[in-house]
Chains A and B, each alone.
Chain A
Amino acid sequence: MVQNIIDVRNLSKSFDISSKKPGFKGTIKHFFRRQTKSLKVIKDITFEIKEGEIVGFLGANGAGKTTILKMLCGLIYPSEGSILVSGYLPFRRKEKFLKNITLIMGQKQQLIWDLPPIESFYLNASIYDLDKFEAKKRIKKLSEMLEIDEELFIPVRKLSLGQRMKSELLAALIHEPNILFLDEPTLGLDINAQRNLRKFLQRYNRETNATICLTSHYMKDITSLCKRVICVHEGAISYDGKLDQLLKKLSPVKEILIVCRSEEDAIKLENSGFTVKNKIKNEITIKIENNSITSSLKTILNNFDIEDLFINEPPIDEVIGKVLIKKNYDI
């Protein structure tokens, strides 16, 4: 049986936030008498993650995804509740725990700006107590997986964003952690760089059975990497389960564009009982429920003279967008 590697129970986090009224008067008042209020940004959340799982955290900006990740890796102290990661209390930041995890943030970097990435790798290797031979072996293996070679010897400031992100990944994985916390790792990358990064993460997960917790605003990252998603809405979990189940629930119908041989066939199809979205000459778009798609297509192909047909999935961004603004999803 696969063990739970992350166990979160009734976790809450509050921050003291100060607010300021606009204008000069507001500024002066803010300077002398700052008004702060306690804001509960994470509200009583509970979940478990199994070893080797890739879990996507979804939510709108400010929903609390990054705060959850930072509590899981021990950067932020929880206000209430308990967290166990790999058997450790993360906020104690024990050496053994820190050697087990890594945090990668798309918008922040740890590489030394003026030096080639290789220098940062060896620095990290010494921090993780790796000898030179072992470090060299791991750098070689990871650079092959990430498909970087010459870039290792070029100053970071001269690398492209994609090359820099690959180097950041290598620096963060040199100690071979088995839990990866990734906060928007593909932020700002072009399509090819995003795809390469996803390919790498899939391979890393497959080869090392590492657990990956990921936040991303790019739906492609979530759909290609995560079988399970945890949706966060205003600090609370609105959905925790399989991604495909969520998608089925949120988009129960598919749109099918059918090109008939003649306009007469299109008219016949229009009057045959299917839900028609629109019809232009011999092209007709109908809506079919996911669970009857095979039987409906069989009927159409057997009874009408069809030239071509296209099945259109609703855009995933639109579907997921619905989750981000709703409080609860029961599947």
Chain B
Amino acid sequence: MNFRKYLKVYKKFLHTSLASELEYKTNILVDLITAILSLVGSIFLLSIFFQNDGYIGGWKFEQALIIQAIYTILNGITNTWFNPNLTEIVKHIREGTLDFVLLKPIDSQFFISLKKINPSGFLEIMLGFLLLFFCIRINQINLNISFMTLSSITISCSICILYSLWFFISTTTIWFVKTWNAIEVLRSFLYIGRFPLNSFSFSLRIFFSVFIPIAFITTIPSEVFLGLSVLWKILLEVVVAAVFLITSRKFWLFAIKFYSSASS
């Protein structure tokens, strides 16, 4: 793979999608306000849950805020990259414009995963990081090298799992054509990631760890922040992320063999 070329193309993607979004100033403003209100609403909801005895599943409100911060960062990444690009796959397949993507001398998964960007998602990422820094202060977390390394690894793995899940569902469009509902279901499951895994019943914990690994996405990075993590869980998250990434890649390459293009 020619990395210089891919970097050059990605710069063009950034430039063209930012320029496209900036054509509609009001839309960006509305998106920014929505991101702020959504974060305020989520924190308010979380504070209501913790009003009675101050603990849920053994987690204090200040600790649970870390999960909210990581969720906000991941949701920002979803809104910035995954949502605009991967929902576009559905459109490409329904309208047959995937033809143009497949005939370009560039990796098709790279193209459809990164071509678009929604700049208003950046604010959500920034808000998530601000909340995270606030949590680091109130939970008196020591920012040493091992903590920084482990938190970076776990958050990166979370991004990979989230991307793979999103991409996997979008890929099924090649057979099912319409998969908006499945994407909405995944989005709803992601909301669950705002709460500590221990706050759910045993059966739900198994479901959210094994079948749809939402638990890995927010809880394990949060445990790293709180010094509650155990090595096997981190290793497991790395393995799960690698398996998901490789599977989504293989699945895409398999699926495009069945692409029949839209009729003209």
Contacts and interface: CB of A to CB of B under 8 A. Distances in A.
A113 B16 CA distance: 11
Interface residues of B, number: 29
Contacts of B102: 74-75, 93
Nearest to B2: A129
Given A77-B257, A129-B5, A115 B16 contact: yes
Nearest to B5: A129
B104 interface: yes
Contacts of B20: 112-115
B264 A122 contact: no
B13 to A, nearest CB: 8
Contacts of B191: none
Contacts of B5: 126, 129
Nearest to B13: A123
B96 interface: yes
Interface in B83-138: 95-97, 99-100, 102-106
Nearest to A119: B16
B12 A183 contact: no
B32 interface: no
Contacts of A120: 16
A243 B190 CA distance: 61
Nearest to A108: B97
Interface string B8-46: 110111011001100110000000000000000000000
Nearest to B97: A108
Contacts of A122: 12
A232 B9 CA distance: 40
A262 interface: no
Contacts of A114: 19-20, 23-24
A280 interface: no
B257 A75 contact: no
A34 to B, nearest CB: 12
Given A105-B99, A126-B9, A76 B261 contact: yes
B193 to A, nearest CB: 33
A112 B103 contact: no
Nearest to A106: B264
A75 B260 CA distance: 8
B259 interface: yes
Contacts of B15: 119
B263 interface: yes
A52 interface: no
Interface stretch (A95-103, A139-147, A323-331): A95-103
Interface in B137-189: none
A103 B96 CA distance: 13
Interface in A70-115: 70, 73-77, 93, 95, 98-99, 101-103, 105, 107-110, 112-115
A72 B12 CA distance: 30
B194 to A, nearest CB: 34
A162 interface: no
Contacts of A70: 99, 261
Contact of B104 (A108, A127, A183, A184): A127
B103 A101 contact: yes
Contacts of B8: 126
A244 B16 CA distance: 48
Contacts of A124: 104
B103 A115 contact: no
Contacts of A98: 103-105
Contact of A126 (B12, B24, B257, B263): B12
A51 B96 CA distance: 29
A15 B260 contact: yes
A103 B264 CA distance: 13
A114 B8 CA distance: 21
A103 B23 contact: no
Interface in A158-213: 183-184
Interface string A14-36: 01000000000000000000000
A285 interface: no
Interface in A207-253: none
A298 B236 CA distance: 94
A93 B95 contact: no
A75 B104 CA distance: 11
Nearest to B9: A126
Contacts of A102: 103
Leading 3 A-B pairs by shortest Cβ distance: A98-B105, A110-B100, A114-B20
Interface of A: 15, 66, 70, 73-77, 93, 95, 98-99, 101-103, 105, 107-110, 112-115, 119-120, 122-124, 126-129, 155, 183-184
Given A76-B260, A127-B9, A129-B5, 5 more contacts: A66-B264, A76-B259, A99-B105, A123-B16, A126-B9
15 contacts: A70-B261, A75-B103, A76-B261, A93-B103, A98-B104, A101-B103, A105-B264, A112-B16, A114-B24, A115-B19, A115-B23, A122-B12, A123-B9, A126-B5, A126-B11
